[in-house]
Each structure stands twice: as structure tokens, then as C-alpha cells.
Chain A
Amino acid sequence: AQSVAQPEDQVNVAEGNPLTVKCTYSVSGNPYLFWYVQYPNRGLQFLLKYITGDNLVKGSYGFEAEFNKSQTSFHLKKPSALVSDSALYFCAVRDGVGNSGGYQKVTFGTGTKLQVIP
């Protein structure tokens, strides 16, 4: 069964320090991987995605993510955290092929709350 794990409910980091939010996945075939961010009382916003190609993907607001096929991981990173990065982050996986009907199931992780401390 397809699954996504975000092992940390919350990550605290000092402003200016690098941050990492972890994500591991399980899916049949090649995965499409996504990161979304949610600010309070808002819907989720797309940050970045991995489809194919370079394992390091760059996205919005200075975020990047590294795809590691052998470890089935897709960790979100940023070299220098800002207080405004404090939000809820969701990892998601979409199976790359879909079923016979072409349906590509999407599974979200449980979310990681990032707190950047001034």
C-alpha cells in the first residue's frame, strides 16, 4: 500500500540555521513527490515536486528537497531558516503510473510543524 511518513511532529530551528524536514515514502513504481506548506487558517500551497531528473529539486521561498531512491526519502531543506518559514509542512506522494483507469492516487503525510525561533 502507498504510504508517506513524516517522523517528526514538530521541528524547532533557530533563525539563520539550516533546516530539514524529513519524509519517507512507499509506493509501487516510480514516485512523484511533493511538498506543500500550510499557514494558519489557509489551504495548502505547493512548494516543490520531484518527477524525474536531478535528485536535488529547488522550489519556492528558497526551499529545496533531495530525492534519495535507495532510502525512499524526500527531505525538505533550506540553508537558512526565516521566522516567516514557521508553518505546517506536508509531504505527498503520487504513484507514477496509476491503475488501469489511469487513476493516480495521492497520499499525504501527517504534517510537520516547523517553528523557527528568532
Chain B
Amino acid sequence: KAGVTQTPRYLIKTRGQQVTLSCSPISGHRSVSWYQQTPGQGLQFLFEYFSETQRNKGNFPGRFSGRQFSNSRSEMNVSTLELGDSALYLCASSQWDRGKGYGYTFGSGTRLTVV
């Protein structure tokens, strides 16, 4: 069974550019969440999608956006990159079934460096 796939693994961008990261969840998982991880801030929740709808959003500026497609694949976009956006971006997928207590399966992440 394939895991959560994030592409690309590494990315170097220039300040002011925009970037799109991709996440393919485990087959059958309909919920996809995104997290930003930095040494100083730990694991920060960005947003969660289910059935192509954003269900919850963290405390990030509007430069951070995402979407989910009908096949549950998800993308997140960061526009007007800042140096502080340099981080490991993690995607996690989960099944969606109230009362089952499903956990997340994480991808290996995309390491974004803004120069």
C-alpha cells in the first residue's frame, strides 16, 4: 500500500516568488491536512481538507492557500514568499469516519528554502 507522497522533496525559491506543493494521500483517505514545521515554532497547523472543502484553517496569512481535488490529492500554495517561510511542510492523510479515531499518516515532507 503506497504511503503519503509529497512532491517535491526539496525546493529552493527566491523571496517574492510563489510555490505550489503537492500531496497524494493514501488510497481511500479522504482527509488531508497540512502542517508547517520549523525549529523555533514546532508543528503549526495550516489547514485540513475533506471532500474538496476546507474544514479548518490555522493562523496563517492569506498568502497560504490550499485546495483538494476530487481524487483527494491536495496542493498548497504560498505566494510572495518570505524568508520566514523556509520550513518543512508536512502533509498528513486520514480516513474520515466519526467515532473510529483514525490517526494520521504523514508524508516525508517538502523542505522549502527561501533565499
Residues of chain A having any CB pair with chain B under 8 Å: 32, 34, 36, 41-46, 49, 51, 90, 92, 94, 96-98, 101-108, 110-111
Contacts and interface: CB of A to CB of B under 8 A. Distances in A.
10 contacts: A32-B101, A36-B103, A42-B108, A43-B90, A44-B90, A96-B99, A96-B101, A103-B48, A106-B33, A108-B35
Nearest to A46: B103
Contacts, number: 62
A102 B109 CA distance: 27
B1 interface: no
B18 interface: no
A108 B106 contact: no
A36 B4 CA distance: 16
A90 B109 CA distance: 16
